[in-house]
Amino acid sequence: MSASFFTSLPFTMSSVVFRSTLRRAAVAAASLSAMLAVSAGTASAQDPRVGLKGGFQDAGEAIRNVTLVSHTPKQDGWFNPQQLGDFGFANSDLAFQKNLVFQGGWHGWQAWDISNPKAPKLRKAFVCQGGQGDLSVYGNLLFMSVEDLVGRVDCGTQGVSEPVSADRFRGVRIFDISDIDNPKQIAAVQTCRGSHTHTLVTDANDKANVYVYVQGTGPVRSPDELAGCNTSPDDPATSLFRIEVIKVPVSAPQTASVVNMPRIFADAAGNVAGLWKGGAHGDGTQNTATTDQCHDITAYPAIGLAAGACSGNGILLDIKDPANPKRIAEVIDPNFAYWHSATFNNAGTSVLFTDEWGGGTAPRCRDTDKPTWGANALFSLGADRQLKQVGYYKLPAAQGSNENCVAHNGSLIPVPGRDIMVQAWYQGGMSIFDFTNPAKPVEIAYFDRGPIAEQLTLAGYWSTYWYNGYIVGSEIGRGLDIFELQPSEFLTKNEIEAAKLVQIDELNPQLQTKITWPAAFPVARAYLDQLDRNNGLSDARIASITKTLDAAEKVTGTGRKQALSLLTSQISADVAKSSDPARVRLLLDVVRQLSR
């Protein structure tokens, strides 16, 4: 890809932006011919998201089954009013700790206090350029990815012009945020390809350390700049075809260092380039990227696994020893252009992979685009730890040719008994869908704005995540949004209240933790609503159990215990009579705990 193509893109970039964005542009260009020949998707022209009025802060909006609690525009100095699509000021991913939302971006990071979701307050803005700036937070430590060639060790804004320089930084920064108003960079771990994204990995058996998996997608730097880097793709010692593992001693994070560079793409013979070689899969298929990098790795330590979205393949890693991840399975999809990110369901029985066809900068949700391209692919994960593809999900509302749109980052919404995800689709907005049956995912809520400009201009949601009762969205060009779910025909008030009971102190998008629900009346009622929806119990039994729960909640002590103990024995008898016995058992477990 020539530099002339990059400068001809319809969105603009400041001088501090460079080559990590070239990867996005290259993918967009590579699939240009494909977008002219795909079949019609499933979007409906009657969907209110179709044809919304454009605008910067006054675009048309379409919303269903959520409310927009607040919209916080970008702060002065953090956007270019003359060039709204300037990559140098683009917002990127989020991380959460207590009442703070950390928002990364090309210009640096910001910490927002969302104690009052209706009026977020900027707590700290820290200018530190060097790429998309993905973040993770752990205790007093904030981790930041840096990949661009202009990144500097000192966070300076002047960039680095020399091809080899001791001033350049590409890797993972570590900040001490014990005093959030005065953060200090205490470590800067250099890597050969920089860090496009990273994954924080914890180990229940190793409280003294945390680990960071580094996903570099940029060009390999010169060994004259960082010893050991190898630019040759044909050399077995190449800096391609690997990730890095950083070990961070919690008590001495300033000593963090790379402790492993695992060859997670190697074949049985030891060939480091052992997975997809790149290219098409036949007529009518995607041109899939070469597997020489991972874009995202999502770790789920509670089940000892991680799912890697690795350019040309989706992979499964055994991370029981987090310093030494081992690939145990891989999959490929002829509809995928670039494997981008992954999400497990809470039970660890399904994995969702996203395809960032077009690199995030191209319009890939038009009514002429295939519904299986630029979509989510859903896999079942068996006890044998093998992946089996079962379905797809793509935003069902067509977007315009001036709206960059493709599957991007999201998280689970902790509704007990169901697998529900909220997901960003750039200028396609936010889509919330149920994938409890991964073969038949169903959209249940959404929010969308019209295009930010008449011409194709980078904007939209980079990510949308559920956090302690709210959905927080990082809008690339416009700011920060907070939403709240509303009851609907797809989701009851009880299910939403049960989800809100799940409260956590930290959330890092690529580190999944096991969701558990307290023994509480909203949780019991959520399961009961699901049994009603699925005809798992008769109307009479639903009404009887509801009446008993309502009565028991109004009393305390012995009266409540006796009522719920009797209800426990009655529900036990319902298990054998139900068409959904597994869900009845979930209800039974909650009621039994409440009776104690």
- Going from the C-alpha of 412 to that of each of 25, 110, 296, 303, 445, the distances in angstroms are 30, 24, 17, 16, 14
Q: State the burial class of residue 541 (Cβ atoms within 10 Å of its Cβ: 0-12, 13-18, 19+).
A: buried
Task: Supply the pLDDT for residue 2.
Answer: 28
Q: Determine the residue type at 379.
A: F
Residue-wise pLDDT tens digits, 482-519 = 999 999 999 999 999 999 999 999 999 899 999 999 99
Torsion of CA 381, 382, 388, 394, to 10 degrees: -30
Q: Angle, nearest 10°, between helix axes 539-553 and 581-594?
A: 20
User: How much is the average pLDDT of 393-420?
Assistant: 98
Task: Supply the pLDDT for residue 419.
Answer: 98
**Overall residue count recorded for the chain in this entry:** 596
Reply yes or no on whether the pLDDT at 32 is more than 50: no
- Going from the C-alpha of 31 to that of each of 299, 313, 485, the distances in angstroms are 30, 18, 36
Task: Supply the pLDDT for residue 477.
Answer: 97
Cβ atoms of 103 and 168 within 8 Å: the answer is no
Q: For the CA atoms of the chain, what is the radius of gyration? A: 24
Which residues lie below 8 Å from residue 501, measured CB to CB, with a gap of 6+?
517, 518, 520, 522, 523
Q: State the burial class of residue 584 (Cβ atoms within 10 Å of its Cβ: 0-12, 13-18, 19+).
A: buried
Reply yes or no on whether the pLDDT at 423 is more than 60: yes
Question: pLDDT-based confidence at 45, cuts 50/70/90?
Answer: low
Q: What are the start-end ranges of the E strands in 158-260?
A: 171-176, 184-190, 197-201, 209-215, 244-249, 257-260
User: How much is the average pLDDT of 583-588?
Assistant: 98
Q: What are the structural domain ranges in the chain?
A: 28-73+84-163+192-507, 521-594
Cβ atoms of 112 and 121 within 8 Å: the answer is yes
Task: Supply the pLDDT for residue 578.
Answer: 97
User: How much is the average pLDDT of 125-137?
Assistant: 96
Could you say which DSSP state residue 515 is in? Answer: -
Reply yes or no on whether the pLDDT at 20 is more than 70: no
Cβ atoms of 192 and 239 within 8 Å: the answer is yes
CATH architecture of 28-73+84-163+192-507: 7 Propeller (2.130)
**Bridge partner residues of 443 (DSSP):** 433
Both ends of the chain: CA-CA distance in Å?
66
Which residues lie below 8 Å from residue 388, measured CB to CB, with a gap of 6+?
379, 380, 382
DSSP per-residue letters across 259-283: EE---TT--TT--SS-S--SEE-ST
Cβ atoms of 316 and 305 within 8 Å: the answer is yes
179 vs 22, higher pLDDT: 179
| 239-269 core/surface letters (b: 16 or more CB in 10 A; e: else) | bbbbbbbbbbeeeebeebebebbbbbbbeee
Torsion of CA 107, 109, 114, 119, to 10 degrees: -20
Reply yes or no on whether the pLDDT at 42 is more than 80: no
User: How much is the average pLDDT of 85-112?
Assistant: 97
Q: State the burial class of residue 357 (Cβ atoms within 10 Å of its Cβ: 0-12, 13-18, 19+).
A: buried
573 vs 44, higher pLDDT: 573
Reply yes or no on whether the pLDDT at 17 is more than 80: no
Question: pLDDT-based confidence at 44, cuts 50/70/90?
Answer: low
Q: How far is CA 336 from the centre of its chain?
A: 18
Mean pLDDT, all residues of the chain? 93
Cα dihedral sign, 383-386-387-388 = negative
Torsion of CA 486, 490, 491, 493, to 10 degrees: 70
User: How much is the average pLDDT of 228-248?
Assistant: 97
User: How much is the average pLDDT of 453-463?
Assistant: 97
Residue-wise pLDDT tens digits, 509-551 = 899 999 999 999 999 999 999 999 999 999 999 999 999 999 9
- Going from the C-alpha of 464 to that of each of 20, 419, 425, the distances in angstroms are 22, 16, 9
Task: Say what percent of the chain tops pLDDT 90.
Answer: 92
Which range (17-21, 63-67, 291-295) has the least confidence?
17-21
Reply yes or no on whether the pLDDT at 103 is more than 90: yes
Of 408, 388, 407, 373, which Cα lies nearest the Cα of 285? 373
**Bridge partner residues of 354 (DSSP):** 341, 376
Residue-wise pLDDT tens digits, 254-311 = 999 999 999 999 999 999 999 999 999 999 999 999 999 999 999 999 999 999 999 9
Tokens read off for 506:
């930290």
Helix (H, G, I), strand (E, B) or coil at 564: helix
Which range (31-35, 91-95, 305-309, 470-474) has the least confidence?
31-35
Cα dihedral sign, 230-233-235-236 = positive
